[in-house]
Structure 1
């Protein structure tokens, strides 16, 4: 196996065992740099937003390329790849947050569940009932399994450490400035579009893996049907795929009306035609997410090994 493949698998295992670093997280450090850069050159136009995106994502790619090039030999390259993979993946922490909300729901503490849910979503949680809290968690698990697990592994397989760091930089910028509001509609345009583009392969692989790792053949058929029928109606070209396939696989109904801070209301298309979500669906969603993540790690490692073989022959 190639050092890249070994590093991707090792980094995935580290994420499952340890989760995100509790202090001095590299992604948080990047966010601080991005915030200071925004303060320095923000302007309400797309050109400045392109500058912001190209500079920060390009800088992350260059840093990753330098780290990979300076690694003295295959073992060091595998270790660098493992460290980078661990730093950019977020599957274990996503699972912990989802199950923390579930624990509050399981004891009947709805106010605590609503408060903990704010760690996962940007919507207003104050008036949500247990079913709506559960829906928000399942939707977040689905979307972030693609964004924070599968897509980084795809780009790590294709581009090594530069691919890992560049993808995470783009995804972080989208979370910071890729919003439809007065401040970021133009400045955040480039970050949002780049994130959509980079997530296309990961979301499709996530959908395929959600179908392949469904708990039964009937669930797999429902997941595939929900993808074909419902995904395109979602406002995101990527989140629609994973939310639809998770809904079909789990036999639940996702989507509907979401209320955000500032009294903004969004009516999203319904994904799947199962039952309304309930707290018991949260552990089922995290189990499906884990299966999808394992499938992505294996697929990424195989792809990296295949690329290594191709390069050796050429």
Structure 2
């Protein structure tokens, strides 16, 4: 059984690479978004807003964990009558299929490259395509800034959409990966920095906590040339986590990346060129392979 989780991870990554995302009606992250969308965040006194947001988050996380545990249990029940070898392989395959919707490398890479393809048509097309990936206003971005933002998104979401779910799967099985994706989705939908901030404060802090180790692991897998420089650049972003993979990508490719008026990473780097999105995708893929292998080793070690 020590190899069950590593094999399930391999199945999930293979299915992701071959087939991409399941339809929306069968996608658990879509379901998480629908649950979170039931709550209309509003301006409340800090204590009341925090408690209301925390309660809604905890109920959602409990539901997600329960469903994941229930599905894991059914996999074991269905395959228990089979011989040990067939049961092991079947459990790994079914668990991998259940894990797959909780990670999304192919979609992430395809969306990043779609920005590059759109820029080849026109700057306006590139801005419009980028707006599907980022929350910032893209209307006034230059071609270079559009390309930089796409590279940043690729690096940041390498952690959020792939490495972190795999990490928590290694730690706590399917419920661990599911709770992480719920936390990350909640932060994306509730983590506002305006009058609604206290309603989403718990969600933002939960995501910060669960992403802390995976974000730094992702940064290390991107192989930046200098760890002191990585730590220095990562601290330039407002987020305690997203700056790590973005700074690692900037240093690895020698690029200057940033969000106008908010932060600049590797200010001495060069501007992003047309080929740099392809280079960033290749670097991210190699980091994914290395990170997955390391996490698989972690899963095997924890259950030895």
> Residues 42 and 195 of structure 2 are in contact (CA less than 8 Å); yes or no, is this contact kept in structure 1?
no
> Residues 152 and 164 of structure 1 are in contact (CA less than 8 Å); yes or no, is this contact kept in structure 2?
yes
Deviation at 1:179?
1.3
Query: Structure 1 residues 188 and 62, CA, compared in 2 at 3 Å: closer, same or farther?
Result: same
Deviation at 1:167?
0.7
5+ long unaligned stretches in structure 2: 81-87
Deviation at 1:76?
4.4
Q: Which residue of 1 aligns with 2:14?
A: 13
Structural mapping, 1:33-44, within 5 Å: 33-36=35-38, 38-39=39-40, 44=44
Q: Whole-Å Cα distance in 2 between the matches of residues 64 and 256 of structure 1?
A: 37
Question: Deviations for 1:93-129, whole angstroms, at most 9, x for unmatched residues?
Answer: 011111111012234x111111001111111111111
Match for 1:57 among 32, 57, 61?
Answer: 61
Equivalenced residues, count: 288
Deviation at 1:22?
4.0
Query: Structure 1 residues 3 and 175, CA, compared in 2 at 3 Å: closer, same or farther?
Result: same
> Residues 244 and 272 of structure 1 are in contact (CA less than 8 Å); yes or no, is this contact kept in structure 2?
no
Q: Whole-Å Cα distance in 2 between the matches of residues 226 and 18 of structure 1?
A: 38
Q: Which residue of 2 aligns with 1:147?
A: 160
Q: Whole-Å Cα distance in 2 between the matches of residues 8 and 33 of structure 1?
A: 27
Match for 2:102 among 73, 76, 88?
Answer: 88
Match for 1:282 among 267, 274, 277?
Answer: 277
In the superposition, the TM-score normalised over structure 1's length comes to 0.87
> Residues 165 and 177 of structure 2 are in contact (CA less than 8 Å); yes or no, is this contact kept in structure 1?
yes
Deviation at 1:27?
0.9
Deviation at 1:43?
7.3
Deviation at 1:289?
1.1
5+ long unaligned stretches in structure 1: 212-219, 258-265, 310-314
Q: Which residue of 1 aligns with 2:210?
A: 198
Question: Deviations for 1:14-42, whole angstroms, at most 9, x for unmatched residues?
Answer: 11222222432221122112222x15x97
Deviation at 1:84?
2.8
Structural mapping, 1:185-264, within 5 Å: 185-211=197-223, 220-222=224-226, 224-257=227-260
Q: Which residue of 2 aligns with 1:217?
A: none
Q: Which residue of 1 aligns with 2:24?
A: 23
Question: Deviations for 1:133-191, whole angstroms, at most 9, x for unmatched residues?
Answer: 001101101100011111011001111101111111111111110111222x0110000
Q: Secondary structure at the match of 1:255?
A: strand
Q: Whole-Å Cα distance in 2 between the matches of residues 22 and 110 of structure 1?
A: 31
Q: Secondary structure at the match of 1:275?
A: coil
Match for 2:183 among 162, 165, 170?
Answer: 170
Query: Structure 1 residues 199 and 166, CA, compared in 2 at 3 Å: closer, same or farther?
Result: same
Q: Secondary structure at the match of 1:187?
A: helix
Q: Which residue of 2 aligns with 1:121?
A: 134
Question: Deviations for 1:265-304, whole angstroms, at most 9, x for unmatched residues?
Answer: x421433531011222111111111111111221222111
